[in-house]
């Protein structure tokens, strides 16, 4: 197995363990969500984040209190990474009153004002100007917070992305555009949808710097995130990060993923997996023992099981909830 050697010796054991733990939580959570979907406990669309965990965990490591994030419908990982309660997320997936949106939002529509997570958006690309708007508010108020606006390679071809690039640079908004390039817009590969595939370079026409990042390497992601954050906090306007990543599962639970080979998926899993990468850094560097990691695995499993139990036991919303939260 060709593993990436550690080229960043300054990372601490505690940090590596933290990333390992957070990425593993997302993976185990998503595996459980897939299982509950199969049991009919989760309905509708359910887009799993498995494979892409290093992106959100690495970028969250570059944030500070008050920073904001907004993303698409593939949002479970982002919510867990910013500290939202797995129980509340899972119960939303099952459509129960204990969910973040009392069961009224579902997998694609969850929010946490407390954690500055602004959705959860089902319309491809819509979150891009919304994220710039959050950044507009921070600039208006005069603080130095930044907004992470996540979208996929598919959304990157939407017109409103470029309307937003223009205004974000024109008004010097503190927004980081994070393109999670997992290679496929649903079933259409990047090369079948896009003539110029260097998404990070598309800000150049507007004067926005951008760079491509190995999105399977949490340390590379964090380093790129810190650079982008420093740029934004200093009042230099937006920044684009193109994260080269991969989703192991289909677009949604109902996607058979016939548009790619099994070999392609297996190759990434064995050569590039973000969790295995950190596990190797910990074990090969002698920073953590198998027992320590097993204890974390066990702990994560318990958290995920607890969230699933909560999501099953939490009651469905009272019928009166149909009529609440429409207007204030």
Report the nearest approach of another protein to the CB of residue 268 (Å).
33
Q: Which CB sits closer to another protein, 100 or 246?
A: 100
Cβ of residue 258: shortest distance to another protein, in angstroms? 30
Residues contacting 49, CB < 8 A, separation 6+: 26, 30, 56, 74, 75, 76, 77, 78, 247
In the complex with another protein, the residue whose CB is nearer, 77 or 106, is 106
Of the CA atoms within 13 Å of residue 1, those in its CB half-sphere come to: 14
Length of the chain: 328
Helices 290-313 and 13-38 pack at an angle, to 10 degrees, of 40
Smaller CB separation from another protein, 34 or 122: 122
Min CB(198)–another protein separation in Å: 22
Distance, in Å, from the CA atom of 324 to the CA atom of 115, rounded to the nearest integer, reads 23
Closer by beta carbon to another protein, 52 or else 149: 149
CB of 129: closest distance to another protein in angstroms?
3
Q: Taking a C-beta distance cutoff of 8 angstroms, is the pair 24, 293 a contact?
A: no
Output the smallest distance, CB 221 to another protein, in A: 24
**Percentages of the chain per state (helix, strand, coil), in multiples of 5:** 50, 10, 40
Site residues (vs another protein, CB under 8 A): 68, 70, 99-105, 109-113, 118-123, 126, 128-138, 140-141, 159-160, 163-164, 166-167, 170-171, 324-328
Q: Which is nearer to another protein, 167 or 190 (CB)?
A: 167
């Amino acid at each position: 197995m060709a593993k990436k050697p550690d080229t960043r010796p300054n990372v601490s054991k505690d940090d590596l363990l933290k990333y390992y733990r957070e990425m593993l939580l997302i993976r185990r959570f998503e595996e459980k969500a897939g299982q509950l979907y199969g049991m009919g406990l989760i309905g509708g669309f359910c887009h799993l984040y498995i494979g892409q965990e290093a992106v959100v965990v690495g970028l969250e490591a570059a944030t500070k209190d008050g920073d904001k994030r907004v993303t698409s419908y593939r949002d479970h990982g982002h919510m867990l990474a910013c500290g939202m309660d797995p129980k509340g997320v899972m119960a939303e997936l099952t459509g129960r009153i204990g969910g973040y949106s009392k069961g009224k939002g579902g997998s694609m529509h969850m929010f946490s004002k407390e954690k500055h997570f602004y959705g959860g958006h089902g319309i491809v690309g819509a979150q891009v100007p919304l994220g710039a708007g959050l950044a507009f508010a921070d600039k208006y108020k005069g603080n130095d917070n930044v907004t992470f606006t996540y979208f996929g390679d598919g959304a990157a071809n939407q017109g409103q992305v470029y309307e937003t690039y223009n205004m974000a640079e024109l008004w010097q908004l503190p927004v980081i555009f994070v393109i999670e390039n997992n290679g496929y817009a649903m079933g259409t590969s990047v090369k079948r949808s896009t003539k110029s595939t260097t998404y990070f370079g598309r800000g150049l026409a507007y004067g926005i710097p951008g760079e491509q990042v190995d999105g399977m390497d949490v340390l590379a992601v964090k380093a790129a995130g810190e650079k982008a954050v420093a740029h934004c906090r200093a009042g230099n306007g937006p920044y684009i990060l193109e994260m080269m990543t991969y989703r192991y599962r289909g677009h949604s639970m109902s996607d058979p993923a016939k548009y790619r080979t099994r070999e392609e998926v297996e190759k990434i899993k064995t050569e590039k997996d973000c969790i295995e990468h950190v596990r190797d850094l910990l074990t090969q560097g002698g920073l953590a023992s198998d027992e320590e990691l097993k204890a974390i695995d066990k702990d994560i499993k318990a958290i995920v099981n607890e969230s699933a139990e909560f999501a099953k036991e939490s009651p469905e919303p009272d019928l009166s909830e149909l009529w609440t939260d429409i207007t204030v």
